[in-house]
Amino acid sequence: MSGWDAVNSPKSQPGSSSSRKTPARTVTLGRVQPQAPALRTIFCNDCDANMAHRYRGNSISTTKYNIFTFLPKGLYEQFRRVANLYFLMVSILSTTPYSPVNPVTNMVPLSLVLMFSLIKEAFEDWQRLQNDKAINNIPVDVLQEQGWETLQWKKLHVGDIIRVKQDEFFPADILLLASTNSDGVCYIESANLDGETNLKIRKALEKTWDYLTPEKACEFKGEVQCEQPNNSLYTFTGNLVIDNQTLPLSPNQILLRGCSLKNTDFIVGAVIFTGHETKVMMNSMNVPSKRSTLERKLDKLILALFCTLFSLCLVGAMGSGIFIDRKYFYLGLLENVEDQFNPNRRFMVIILTMLTLLTLYSTIIPISLYVSIETIKFIQSSQFINKDLNMYHAETNTPASARTSNLNEELGQVEYIFSDKTGTLTRNLMEFFKCSIGGEIYGAGMTEIERDISERKGIKVQEVQMSAGSVREKGFNFDDVRLIRGAWRNEPNHDVCKEFFRCIAICHTVLPEGNESPEKIKYQAASPDEAALVLAAKKFGFFFYRRTPTMIYVRESHVETMGKTQDVSYEILNVLEFNSTRKRQSVVCRYPDGRLVLYCKGADTVIYERLGIGNDDLNKVTRDHLEQFGSAGLRTLCLAYRDLAPGFYEGWNEKFIKAKSSLRDREKRLDEVAELKEKDLILIGATAIEDKLQEGVPSCIQTLSRAGIKIWVLTGDKMETAINIAYACNLLNNEMIQFIISSETDAIREVEERGEQAETALFIKEEVRKQLKQCLDEAQQYFCSPSGPKLGLVIDGKCLMCALDPSLRVMLLTLSLNCASVVCCRVSPLQKAQVTSLVKRGARKITLSIGDGANDVSMIQAAHIGIGISGLEGMQAVMASDFSIAQFRFLEDLLLMHGRWAYIRLCKVVMYFFYKNLAFSLTQFWFTFNTGFCGQRFYDDWFQSLYNVIFTALPVVFVGVLDKDISPSLSKKYPELYKEGVRHMFFKWRVVALWAFFAVYQSLVFFYFISATCSTSLDPSGKMFGLWDVSTMAYTCIVVTVNLRLLMMCNSITRWHCISVGGSILAWFLFIFLYSGITTPLDRNDNMYWVIYILMGTSYFYVTLLLVPVAALLVDFLYLSVQRWFFPYDYQIVQEMHKDDIQSTDPSELLESKQQLTPDEARCREISQLPKEVSRHSGFAFDSPGYESFFASQFGKYVPPKAWDVARRGSMRSKATPK
Amino acid sequence: MSSYTPSSSAGGVGSADSAAPRRNSKRPKYSKFTQQELPACKPILTPRWVISAFMLVSIVFIPIGVVSLLASRDVVEIIDRYETECVPQNFRNNRVSFIQSDANKTCTRRLTVTKHMKQPIYVYYQLDNFYQNHRRYVKSRSDSQLRDNSSWNDVSSCKPEDDSNGLPIVPCGLIAWSLFNDTYNFSLNNQQLAVNKREISWKSDRDHKFGNDVLPRNFQNGTLKGGKSLDPTVPLSQQEDLIVWMRTAALPTFRKLYGKIERDLQPNEVIHVTLENNYNTYSFNGKKKLVLSTTSWLGGKNDFLGIAYLTIGGLCFFLALSFTVVYLVKPRRLGDPSYLSWNRNPGGH
């Protein structure tokens, strides 16, 4: 317990003074101060009184723009891109006389690009607007003038009394006043909020139960004092002042917007928070958008291009300063010369020519690059990742989904995976497997992990046959003839057994649903563990079938009445709920015969601390059993009870009620009160629940580690459980050198027992430093040898916290980066994020986090790529993630196939853009040398502006979408190919330099081949070509060459490639035929008139059109041949190895491939065929959403960690209100 | 009842497909595109392909190269550089003042025909270091004025040669102003060789860019004469020298067609050229050449194309050969797993 505390709250850290201040504040705020600014006072049913506060309305708007801000704001967004801003600048510049080109040259591509982006933005925003409109216009019944009137959601105000009917959604955060159900209870479903589909109970205060009819409701005049709007979904503190009586309010009375009403005809409530102030809206914080590494590198490339551009311009400008001279009389430089050509002002000439050349060479910056990349990525994510059948999970009906298209190519470069354990690696399908009652272990069978361990030890495992009469159900995989079917009555310790079964039948917060018969009943539980326990109780003959706010009904089979059942009702006096600090749950119940018992279940550490004196033998034996269970990978819970004296209980209950009605720090005070009672417990036994591995996890992990990806498991579980899961998943094995850094050493325990936190922290830190140093020294000898054994590191949360200290961080990083796998156990959500950012920032490697629960949110957002497991638990992880998949094993497809392809494709696209623009612009540059550096354009304005957006735009998009080097099955067969992406093989400066070389070479060929031929007549009629004939010839060659070059870089050529490449070339010819053939009154284009027809009338045109592209592509082809012949890439060899494979495109192949499973997979698959429960939030694995404070601190705000801020379900507290 | 039949048969088809999506299923629909299974050819650049590609290029290119080179060699070209010789000895040191003076600039040159020249023989003048592609120069013209008489005073783009004494110049601008004005007269055996100056410009220029109702006005009236004057009675569409000149050259060294001699010339015939050396290239040290040339199907004498074809063809042939040798000596086994990086140095890198 104390260990957990130390990690979870910063209090134990010496020197963290900020948290120390919080208690002081609590003292002053303990009193109820209605006027305090931190409180909100709402006058129910009193419009005018609320007016003074000017609360926000209930209409919401999630749009980014409105009709007036769209253009300015949208354009502003667009011009935040450097390339766009540059083009804007150039466009403005090109309207000045210094420009050699028509403004059209730069305007057209810019406006096309802007238009494309703006239309996209507008479309997205339009959809958001429609969505908002639809939501704002939903009708709701509002109390007005003694009757229900139907208004739209947006017209709601704070303080209104409203009526919500069954299956309707709550329009705002509402205080529940009355319900048609008895006892003021209503049921809600919060799937929209947290994805949990089980029903939850909300219960109105007794005082308000009657305000159900409009007539009654009109009379309701209450004053709600509550906290200010905040984003914490599971807390609410407030008081209802009614008839001068102050009643405490809790989350139990609050109906949150986004939830819907179930199983209740209607409810009446008062609106508390509206619109953007509702908790669900406050929660939808804008996740900072992530940019991929490739894109950031791309920025550098663009920067390099800018530098190139400036140096080209500088060279040209200097040249012009030197060149300009009066001797060229034909330039008319004698009088009235403008500054740019004035030989007397050479400096001015240089400056102005610089501007001229900037506009002239602007094509060097690929303006359409970003738009093309966005289009490609959008198709990749929306068409390929979202629609991949291989990543569709049929059982949960969940396809993969890319929630952002920014990070596709980042998936191809991942080096570190941080994985949650529960629900991600394991199935979170809990099955009651074993138990220990009164020092005796019950339950046969072996867990997968045990089987794995014994296989490693070389012991042949005999499959244990289920005994003939075994009762198996999902959630119950228990087999022991001594206990089932009432056999426990013959056990020597049957009394303890009875307590055991009662404990698991009573001490829980499960809701039964459906028919009250053992076969048909369904249990709604917050955690699958609880459901499994209640189910087990049912199987043992303690069938819990009904719950009312104050009672639990159990159908028991007793020793005394053999074979007969008896319905027993237990009065539930208090429920002390589970949370991550308490790590236990207690119920106080009164037997029909008046016996008062406290039943408690919780983590072993917590329970053992609170056991009474005596019974040391039992405690020791049970502890051994717990360790056994732990090493088998089972999740354990200790059960204990305590008989309460009525007098003691009364006294305690008063304190409890007082604590419950306190407005501030209610949770903390409740904890303190609970602590008073949960002591001197008597141990009953322990339960062991199996947490099954997800399908295909071990083989997926193996494949991924062959791909050079290092996998870290971050879990809140115990070290033993974590290590065992790691073994079962192939993360650790016996060939590895393992380093274990644990805080569970005798020395540390000893210091801890002294209880001085500062000293303990210091001591642990010192210990960790020693251990780290020792491990590092040992590990160092393996670093150098490449064929040495792999290393593995296991570290627990407490040590990790110390190791994350700046002084030790470097050591930790060096050690862990050299480990093939790392297991961190007992870590808090915040630490998960810290570890992730340690690797992300410290090692500058690309990280991926995968998890399923709210406790993984921080980690998911901290990593480069966050992946949420969808289809099972709550939606929080998915909402925070960048990609969501249904199964861990789909990572294989996502990374090795989609990620790898996306990376390779985008690299190709980027390099191609770079090359084609450079090649084109350089021809212009070479021409400048032949024009006296004056900045005369070589090409026609339209040629230059359409080059990027028409004649070379489409094919590259097809390559970015369709290029495939090897088939998906091969990329999984050879996961090592993935390393090419990790090593940045396809986009590094060497590759850029190579492409730059091609571009320079080709531009030289284009310009000098053409200009060398045009010195003489090129027509049998002896006439000469002019400037525009020559440039059109050169341009034609460039368009043809650049498009053909694209074909050369394709790994696979579909008909779309051919169509787009052919189409682009054709488009050019079509354009030039029209452009030079037609004269319009507006723009006669005398320069270009008839040019192409003159050119095509000569044989020279055809001879050159064959020569130049071949000559230009010769070097590229030679490079490709030599590279492939002598220095082949890995993927090229794999291509060759499998070039004769028949490419089956039969969809049935998808199904067939499933048939060939490894034994491991087959086993997993078999298990997966079992009927499966939609598992829920795992309360017992310490899933606490502490991410809020983590992200608040990222944004510079300090939010004290809220220990109680965990997912809780509606449960009933009896006698909470004094009668 | 009949409506039942098709629906049931449709159901039959649906059930035959085992993967038929359930109702409400989020299973993505199968399509070759989304599953990235579009039929594609996957060319692999195997040694065979490399060698054959190089071979193919050499096979295609060498003959074309030979043909082009032969065509170029067929062309007979006589080039005479005259800008120095045509300046009298006593002006050699001060050629600019000579060209600007009113002295007699007539000069005679003798050209010896080396080979048989078939008619038509094209007469060119070639200028050097003359930046007809300079930005200030190129844009100093008014297309609308040239084309259409009604916009004769549209001289806004013609600075600094837009008007003379306040009157718009037609044709305005630097290009027209600097019109080349050397003239050549050829005689063979004291017999005048007629030079045909018709159809020396592109037909599209004559018909569309220069109007047949546009007459020169105020041309070369300024204090400084840039070049040739035009006959103010002849419309621009017939002033072919101007039309040729106005199609600005791409490079600072350029030829322009002067005229055509429409008779054959025999070897060793001597042509006397009487030329008026009027044009000032001396201030910027430009060369002037007189060129007589025949043409082939590929135009004038230009070995570049042929040589380029032959070079590339030869290079490819050589590459094909050397790749073949490498292939024979040390063949590269396709898809050899030992090439894979993780097999080359086990245990990572």
Residue carrying the six token digits 């079938």: A545
pLDDT in tens, A747-781: 777 777 676 777 888 888 888 888 888 888 888 87
pLDDT at A481: 77
Q: What are the C-alpha distances in Å from A40 to residues A55, A58, A235, A275, A922?
A: 10, 17, 15, 16, 67
- pLDDT band, very low/low/confident/very high, at A584 (cuts 50, 70, 90): confident
Query: For residues B241 and B258, what is the distance between their CA atoms, to the nearest angstrom?
Result: 7
Q: Which residues in chain A are contacts of B137 at CB distance < 8 A?
A: 330-331
Residue stretches of the annotated binding site of A for Mg(2+): 420, 422, 852, 856
Q: Which residue of B has its CA nearest to A1101?
A: B298
Q: Which residue of B has its CA nearest to A382?
A: B34
Query: For residues A298 and A361, what is the distance between their CA atoms, to the nearest angstrom?
Result: 20
Residues B192 and B54 in one domain: no
Q: Which residues in chain A are contacts of B312 at CB distance < 8 A?
A: 1107, 1110-1111, 1114
DSSP assignment letter at A258: T
Neighbours of B25 (CB within 10 A): 12
The whole-angstrom distance between A1178's CA and the closest CA on chain B is: 26
Orientation angle between helical segments A82-93 and A104-136, nearest 10 degrees: 130
The whole-angstrom distance between A955's CA and the closest CA on chain B is: 15
Say if CB B133 and CB A1025 are below 8 A apart: no
- pLDDT band, very low/low/confident/very high, at A921 (cuts 50, 70, 90): very high
Query: For residues A415 and A849, what is the distance between their CA atoms, to the nearest angstrom?
Result: 11
Residue to substitute from B341, B344, B345, B349, interface A, most A β-carbons within 10 A: B341
Q: Which residues in chain A are contacts of B57 at CB distance < 8 A?
A: 1110, 1114
Q: Which residues in chain B are contacts of A928 at CB distance < 8 A?
A: none
Judged by CB atoms closer than 8 Å, whether chains meet at B135 and A934 is answered as: yes
Judged by CB atoms closer than 8 Å, whether chains meet at B30 and A1147 is answered as: yes
- pLDDT band, very low/low/confident/very high, at B91 (cuts 50, 70, 90): confident
Residues in chain B: 349
Judged by CB atoms closer than 8 Å, whether chains meet at A1121 and B315 is answered as: no
pLDDT at A543: 87
- Mean pLDDT, range A829-848, rounded to an integer: 86
**Which of A329, A1012, A1137 faces B283 most closely, judged by CB atoms?**
A329
Judged by CB atoms closer than 8 Å, whether chains meet at A1025 and B68 is answered as: no
Judged by CB atoms closer than 8 Å, whether chains meet at B36 and A964 is answered as: yes
- Extract the tokens encoding A600: 């408690």
Q: Which residues in chain A are contacts of B304 at CB distance < 8 A?
A: 1009, 1012-1013
pLDDT at A472: 63
pLDDT at A725: 80
Residues B186 and B167 in one domain: yes
Q: Which residues in chain A are contacts of B326 at CB distance < 8 A?
A: 1125
pLDDT at B315: 96
AA identity, residue A657: I
Residues B317 and B242 in one domain: no
pLDDT at A22: 33
Residue stretches of the annotated binding site of A: 420-422, 530, 578, 601, 635, 715-717, 826, 832, 852, 855-856
Q: Which residue of A has its CA nearest to B280?
A: A329
B160 upstream amide cis, omega within 30 of 0: yes
**Which of B57, B257, B340 faces A1133 most closely, judged by CB atoms?**
B340
- The contacts of residue B54 (CB under 8 Å, 6+ apart) are B316, B317, B319, B320, B323
pLDDT in tens, A185-213: 888 877 666 655 567 778 888 888 888 88
Tell me whether residue B28 is in a domain.
no
Tell me whether residue B335 is in a domain.
no
Q: Which residues in chain B are contacts of A1075 at CB distance < 8 A?
A: none
- The contacts of residue A430 (CB under 8 Å, 6+ apart) are A475, A527, A528, A529, A531, A532, A635, A689, A690, A691, A1175
Say if CB B117 and CB B111 are below 8 A apart: no
Residue to substitute from A322, A330, A938, A1006, interface B, most B β-carbons within 10 A: A330
**Which of A387, A936, A979 faces B134 most closely, judged by CB atoms?**
A936
Q: Give the number of domains in chain B.
A: 2
Selected catalytic residue, list A141, A160, A420, A941? A420
Residue carrying the six token digits 């694995």: A1181
Query: For residues B199 and B259, what is the distance between their CA atoms, to the nearest angstrom?
Result: 8
Assign residue A665 a region (left: φ > 0; alpha: ψ between -120 and 50; beta: otherwise).
left
Residues B278 and B323 in one domain: no
Q: What's the sign of the alpha-carbon dihedral A145, A146, A148, A153?
A: positive
Q: Which residues in chain B are contacts of A1132 at CB distance < 8 A?
A: 44
Please give the backbone phi and psi of residue A522, each rounded to the nearest 5 degrees, phi first: -125, 140
pLDDT in tens, B258-280: 999 999 999 999 999 999 999 99
Residue stretches of the annotated binding site of A for ATP: 420-422, 530, 578, 601, 635, 715-717, 826, 832, 855-856
Q: What is the number of alpha carbons within 13 Å of residue B301 lying toward its C-beta?
A: 15
Tell me whether residue B313 is in a domain.
yes
Judged by CB atoms closer than 8 Å, whether chains meet at B250 and A1099 is answered as: no
Query: For residues B207 and B202, what is the distance between their CA atoms, to the nearest angstrom?
Result: 9
Residues B234 and B318 in one domain: no
pLDDT in tens, A972-1003: 889 999 998 888 888 989 999 999 999 999 99
pLDDT at A444: 77
pLDDT at B21: 42
AA identity, residue A715: T
Query: For residues B22 and B233, what is the distance between their CA atoms, to the nearest angstrom?
Result: 89
Tell me whether residue B31 is in a domain.
no
SS3 state of residue A162: strand
Tell me whether residue B346 is in a domain.
no
The whole-angstrom distance between B125's CA and the closest CA on chain A is: 11
- Strand runs (DSSP E) across A476-579, as ranges? 511-513, 522-524, 542-547, 551-557, 565-576
DSSP assignment letter at B217: B
pLDDT in tens, A499-533: 888 898 888 888 787 777 777 787 877 677 788 88
Say if CB A870 and CB A884 are below 8 A apart: yes
Q: Which residue of B has its CA nearest to A329?
A: B283
Note the Cα B332 to chain centre separation in Å: 45
The whole-angstrom distance between B301's CA and the closest CA on chain A is: 7
Residues B241 and B321 in one domain: no
Tell me whether residue B238 is in a domain.
yes
Judged by CB atoms closer than 8 Å, whether chains meet at A1031 and B347 is answered as: no
pLDDT in tens, B32-61: 898 888 888 888 888 899 999 999 999 999
- pLDDT band, very low/low/confident/very high, at A376 (cuts 50, 70, 90): very high
Q: Which residue of A has its CA nearest to B137?
A: A331
- Extract the tokens encoding B50: 């490399």
pLDDT at A333: 84
Domain range holding B311? 46-75+301-327
Q: Alpha-carbon Rg of chain B, whole angstroms?
A: 34
pLDDT at A659: 83
Q: What CATH number labels A156-283?
A: 2.70.150.10
**Which of A336, A399, A1134 faces B160 most closely, judged by CB atoms?**
A336
Size of interface A-B (CB pairs under 8 A): 296
Residues B220 and B305 in one domain: no
pLDDT at A296: 87
Judged by CB atoms closer than 8 Å, whether chains meet at A1015 and B255 is answered as: yes
Query: For residues A1132 and B195, what is the distance between their CA atoms, to the nearest angstrom?
Result: 66
Tell me whether residue B320 is in a domain.
yes
Q: Which residues in chain A are contacts of B130 at CB distance < 8 A?
A: 330
AA identity, residue A756: E
Residue to substitute from A924, A971, A1024, A1048, interface B, most B β-carbons within 10 A: A1024
pLDDT in tens, A379-426: 999 899 999 999 998 888 889 988 888 889 999 999 999 998 877 888
Q: What CATH number labels A431-458+471-691?
A: 3.40.1110.10
Q: What are the C-alpha distances in Å from A593 to residues A546, A569, A588?
A: 19, 10, 14
**Which of B18, B29, B332 faces A1125 most closely, judged by CB atoms?**
B332
Judged by CB atoms closer than 8 Å, whether chains meet at A1111 and B308 is answered as: yes
Note the Cα A597 to chain centre separation in Å: 44
pLDDT at B321: 96
Is residue A831's pLDDT more than 90? no
Residues B57 and B164 in one domain: no
pLDDT in tens, B178-187: 999 999 999 9
Is residue B17's pLDDT more than 60? no
Strands across the sheet with B195-196, in order? B77-81, B288-293, B121-127, B254-261, B195-196
Q: Which residues in chain B are contacts of A328 at CB distance < 8 A?
A: 131, 134, 283-284
- Extract the tokens encoding B102: 């009113």
AA identity, residue A755: G
Q: What are the C-alpha distances in Å from A439 to residues A499, A841, A969?
A: 14, 50, 52
Q: What is the mean pLDDT of chain A?
A: 80
Judged by CB atoms closer than 8 Å, whether chains meet at A1100 and B298 is answered as: yes
A7-21, A920-934, A1002-1016: which range is least confident on average?
Answer: A7-21
Residues B306 and B249 in one domain: no
Residues B290 and B198 in one domain: yes
Is residue A489's pLDDT more than 80? no
ipTM here: 0.92
Is residue A3's pLDDT more than 60? no
Tell me, yes or no, if A420 is annotated catalytic.
yes
AA identity, residue B85: E
Q: What is the number of alpha carbons within 13 Å of residue B176 lying toward its C-beta?
A: 32
pLDDT in tens, A627-639: 888 777 677 889 9
Specify the higher pLDDT residue, A152 or A1142. A152
Orientation angle between helical segments A954-962 and A900-929, nearest 10 degrees: 160
Neighbours of B345 (CB within 10 A): 10
Please give the backbone phi and psi of residue A69, each rounded to the nearest 5 degrees, phi first: -85, -10
**Which of A786, A1017, A1133 faces B122 most closely, judged by CB atoms?**
A1017
pLDDT in tens, A1163-1188: 444 444 333 333 222 223 333 333 33
Neighbours of A336 (CB within 10 A): 9
AA identity, residue A1053: I
The domain defined by A381-424+705-896 folds into Rossmann fold (3.40.50)
Residue to substitute from B340, B343, B345, interface A, most A β-carbons within 10 A: B340
Percentage, residues of chain A above pLDDT 70: 84
- pLDDT band, very low/low/confident/very high, at A287 (cuts 50, 70, 90): low
Q: What's the sign of the alpha-carbon dihedral B187, B188, B192, B193?
A: negative
SS3 state of residue A225: strand
Q: Closest by alpha carbon to A898, among B341, B26, B30, B34?
A: B34
A605-619, A1031-1045, A1092-1106: which range is least confident on average?
Answer: A605-619
Is residue A467's pLDDT more than 80? no
Say if CB A741 and CB A775 are below 8 A apart: yes
Judged by CB atoms closer than 8 Å, whether chains meet at B45 and A1022 is answered as: no
- Mean pLDDT, range A112-118, rounded to an integer: 87
- Extract the tokens encoding B46: 């195997």
Tell me whether residue B2 is in a domain.
no
Query: For residues A589 and A847, what is the distance between their CA atoms, to the nearest angstrom?
Result: 50
Residues B197 and B58 in one domain: no
**Which of A389, A786, A1104 faces B30 most closely, judged by CB atoms?**
A389
Residues B197 and B166 in one domain: yes
Query: For residues A650 and A644, what is the distance between their CA atoms, to the nearest angstrom?
Result: 10
Listed by start position, the domains of chain A span 156-283, 381-424+705-896, 431-458+471-691, 914-962+992-1133
pTM for the full predicted model: 0.80
Is residue B166's pLDDT more than 60? yes
AA identity, residue A668: K
Judged by CB atoms closer than 8 Å, whether chains meet at A1054 and B133 is answered as: no
